[in-house]
Structure 1
Amino acid sequence: MSWMFDNVGRLMARLQKPANRSEPFTQNDPKALRDTLRRGDVLLVEGKSRISGGIKYLTQSTWSHSALYVGPMASAATEGEPHVLIEANIDEGVVSAPLSKYLHCQTRICRPVGLSQADCEEVCRYACERIGLGYDFKNVIDQMRYLFPWPVTQRRRRRAIALGSGDPSRIICSSLIAQAFDAVRYPILPKITRVESQTAQREIAEIRHSSLYAPRDFDISPYFMIVKPTLARGFNYKDMVWADLPQDHTAQLTLAPEIEVPIAEAACAGVPG
């Protein structure tokens, strides 16, 4: 059956071509993104290809791809730029990539809260050691079958599908990252069972199978913090320059808090007293 999924994979690779040339709603600041990312961060990407559109539709999410930030890799670079991401993509399988690959895309940083330094190193090492694995096309097909709104219950759909090819040499992007965090028992969206006892109530966590994860799960996980480079570097709305205001008036707005205005003059100027 592997030949059939390889053929499907080639078809899916052709669907990787951009469906449109639209620019992201907000442009990425390359320096801000580089300065903000830390080892162990998950970078979510809003892809523009046709297959990305399908993933976003089925998952009801903005994000169609995920990559793990591991920091500069000494042995990998593109035109002098070090590779800092580990990802699994349809064209190449598990590879490393430079950050510039996604500067033209809408992105989001998801940071694991409280992850120890030792566990962070283990997560990054786990992902790096998977470089060279193939892409699991059957996993993508199974996810589509699971997420597509068939007129049956979710539990029956879960039972009706196999979780990927079962081949340890093949994987998808979100599964790769999920497995890396599972290796150190860091939660993403575990199944929680509440156990009652005579003394207290306990919550028992159970790891979900990595093949069931989608990029959006890192976004909605209660254990990952959303980090926005603009805010992380220090944001002051008074510093913004507005197109509909004269430059000198904008400067006055910026200086306004530092200028003392007499109460009478303030009232004449329409400034609240």
Structure 2
Amino acid sequence: MNDTFLAGTDTILDRLGRAMARRLTKQVSGYEPYTPSDFGSLCRTLVPGDVLLIEGSERVATAIKYLTQSTWSHAALYVGDVLPKPEEGGERPRLIEVNLGEGCVARPLSKYASYNTRICRAVGLNADERAKVVDYMRHHLGLRYDMHHIFDLLRYFFPTPPVPVRWRRRMIAFGSGDPTRAICSSLIAQAFQSIRYPILPEVEVRTGSAYARREIYHIRHHSLFTPRDFDLSPYFAVVKPHLQGGFDHRLLRWSDDAPSGEEATG
């Protein structure tokens, strides 16, 4: 099988993949966030290098949530003001993400203004390390999406026997192995691995004596990372915008506190 045939086959697969991506990324009707969105607080809280987890409302989010047993089906990196405003005007893109069928793109934060989101912040990074993580993502803008990922995801839209939990992490590693392609969480994982920051490393404990103990951290392959791993990681703090500006429960007004005939505002 010659290279010309392989190139033609890849083009056909890419075209078919893009067509399927358009179907899989259609919004599911009736989606509502389970908590009220506070977009202003989200904007004030994010700092460059933060990972923003999103509860997707597309059809494909169903498969991601099933495989990862998580609320979070998508991840994006907040990059601050490093990207220019669009020449035609409009909002500056402050997120870099890898989208199904699109690849690595920059998008405005308002895209997720009405979604359930979670901020995961790597603890202990200095300004230079944050900049390196941001630059890693910025330099990969235009990276293609791994189309093989789409065909594997399709399996989970058909009746199938339940997949044991212990197999699901391996099954999410759909990537073709092509280093010029990626999926959403794998590229962000690579960005943090580029500065040798742990997410969920495999730990090997070696004991040299009764008084000596050493832990050896092994870097997982980036294709094994899912959006929820940033939430589960002991090295990423969950930052809640509602609490960052101060919270006093005494200021809340409850329905049973309101005078008769008056609606509570809390």
Asked if these proteins are the same fold (TM beyond 0.5), I'd say: yes
Is the CA contact 2:53–2:72 (under 8 Å) kept in the aligned structure 1?
Answer: yes
Tell me the distance in 2 between the aligned counterparts of 1:126 and 1:85. Answer: 13
Pairwise CA distance, 1:190: 0.6
Worse overlay, 92-101 or 195-204: 195-204
Match of 2:46 in 1: 37
1:151-206, CA deviations, whole angstroms, 9 ceiling, x for partnerless residues? Answer: 79749x95x99862222221111011000000000000111111121351111001
How far does residue 64 in structure 1 lie from its aligned partner after superposition?
A: 0.3
Corresponding residue number in structure 1 for 2:21: 12
Structure 1 match to 2:6: none
Q: Which residue of 2 aligns with 1:257?
A: none
Unaligned runs of 5+ in 1: 251-273
For the 8 Å contact 1:76–1:83, the answer to whether it is kept is: yes
Identical aligned pairs, as a percentage? 49
Matched, 1:180 2:194: no
Q: Check the 8 A contact 1:142/1:164 in 2, yes or no.
A: no
Between 183-192 and 234-243, the greater mean CA deviation after superposition: 234-243
Find the aligned partners of 1:47 and 1:92 in 2 and give their Cα distance: 16
Instruction: Report the Cα distance in structure 2 between the residues aligned to 1:130 and 1:229, rounded to whole angstroms.
Output: 29
Kindly provide the amino acid, as one letter, of the partner of residue 170 in structure 1: R
Q: Where does the alignment leave 5 or more consecutive residues of structure 2 unmatched?
A: 1-8, 156-160
Q: Which amino acid is the alignment partner of residue 219 of structure 2?
A: I
Return the match for 1:52 from 53, 61, 69. Answer: 61
- Which amino acid is 2:113 matched to? L
CA contact 1:241–1:247 (8 Å) conserved in 2: no
Task: Name 2:76's counterpart in structure 1.
Answer: 67
**Equivalent residue pairs, number:** 248
CA RMSD in angstroms, aligned pairs only? 3.0
Match of 2:239 among 189, 207, 227: 227
Aligned amino acid, residue 215 of structure 2: E
* Contact 2:13/2:147 (8 A) holds in 1: no
| Match of residue 112 from structure 1 | 122
3-state SS of the aligned residue for 1:86? strand
For normalisation by structure 1, the TM-score amounts to: 0.81
- Equivalent position SS for 2:134: helix
In the TM superposition, 1:142-161 aligns within 5 A as 149-150=162-163, 154=167, 158=170
**Bigger CA radius of gyration:** 1
| Structure 1 residue 205 corresponds to structure 2 residue 214 | no
